[in-house]
Amino acid sequence: MGFTLIELLVVIAIIAILAAILFPVFVKSKENAKRTGCLSNLKQMSVAIQAYQGDNNGQYPGSGTYPWASPDPREPWAQHTGWVKMLLDKHLKNRSVFECPAQLNGVRTGGRAPWIHLGYGMNEYLFYRHYGFLVEGNLPRPRHTVLFADCNRHGMVHDWNADLQASEDGLPSGMNRVRYADGLYKGQWRIRHSGTNILFADHHARIVLPDQFKIDKPTQSICKEYPVIWPNAIPYY
Ligand SMILES: [Zn+2]
């Protein structure tokens, strides 16, 4: 004996309801998996950078423009991604670690195909452009200092103290670059996970929610960088 039409419709309705209930759960668990994968990437970068520092008197890699990064297309290490090369040379062979599983875009770099679509930035404060090579033990507040973070553009987290390109949120552009880690995408500022995954300089990693980004009133100078920044930042200089 087959189904009557009514029975069939009831079955279809039940399936539709179940799908409607379960779909957000699937989406959520997929998001959670990406967030966890991202934290795992940061942890691997943490291990690699500590190994690098072990070989280099505690110094951080020069994360900036020098010596490899160049906007010249014949030299395909993108600007500000020198730290990636320095870690890859010896301490972290898996190139996919530099790509956040949730990112919408990334900085193409890597020196050769397959390219790395870099989804993270290193804190500019920690490399030599401004301060000379910093040694980890000299950081006054490593627990509040960003080391690597989900971020848009550059492969570098910087302009902590610059109002340039500041959004209406009243935060400096560097902080917004981390908060909106996927940047301006299709006309909207995008938060990458439900927040931003950050590895701090004391090597703990966690998600920072959008409303947890805070800073003391920035000073006027653009070049003096804040490190970062929870709850309120005190500039290091
Ligand atoms: Zn991420």
Per the CB < 8 A criterion, the answer to whether 124 and 225 are in contact is yes
Q: Distance from the CA of 69 to the center of ligand 1, in angstroms?
A: 23
Q: Distance from the CA of 102 to the center of ligand 1, in angstroms?
A: 6
Q: Report pLDDT for 20.
A: 92
Q: Distance from the CA of 150 to the center of ligand 1, in angstroms?
A: 5
Confidence category of residue 222, pLDDT binned at 50, 70, 90: very low
Q: Distance from the CA of 20 to the center of ligand 1, in angstroms?
A: 27
The mean pLDDT of 141-169, rounded to a whole number, is 73
Q: Distance from the CA of 45 to the center of ligand 1, in angstroms?
A: 13
Q: Distance from the CA of 41 to the center of ligand 1, in angstroms?
A: 8
Q: Which two tokens stand for residue 195?
A: 């927040």
In this predicted structure, the answer to whether residue 118 has a pLDDT above a threshold of 80 is: yes
pLDDT, one tens digit per residue, over 70-80 is 656 666 788 78
Q: Report pLDDT for 127.
A: 67
Q: Report pLDDT for 178.
A: 87
In this predicted structure, the answer to whether residue 107 has a pLDDT above a threshold of 60 is: yes
Q: Distance from the CA of 235 to the center of ligand 1, in angstroms?
A: 26
In this predicted structure, the answer to whether residue 217 has a pLDDT above a threshold of 90 is: no
Output 218 or 167, whichever has higher pLDDT. Answer: 167
Cis ω for the linkage preceding 114 (within 30 of 0): yes
CA 81-86-88 angle, to 5 degrees, is 95
The mean pLDDT of 87-104, rounded to a whole number, is 92
Query: What burial letters (b/e) apply to 119-144, b meaning 16+ CB within 10 Å?
Result: bbbbbbbbbebeeeebebeebeebeb
Residue 129: strand, helix, or coil: helix
Q: Distance from the CA of 33 to the center of ligand 1, in angstroms?
A: 11
Q: Does an H or E element contain 22, and which? A: helix 5-55
Q: Distance from the CA of 79 to the center of ligand 1, in angstroms?
A: 21
Q: Report pLDDT for 64.
A: 56
d(CA 80, CA 121): 9
The mean pLDDT of 19-33, rounded to a whole number, is 90
In this predicted structure, the answer to whether residue 230 has a pLDDT above a threshold of 50 is: no
In this predicted structure, the answer to whether residue 137 has a pLDDT above a threshold of 80 is: no
Average pLDDT value over all residues in the chain: 79
Q: What is the pTM of this model?
A: 0.81
Residue 8 DSSP class:
H
Q: Distance from the CA of 197 to the center of ligand 1, in angstroms?
A: 6
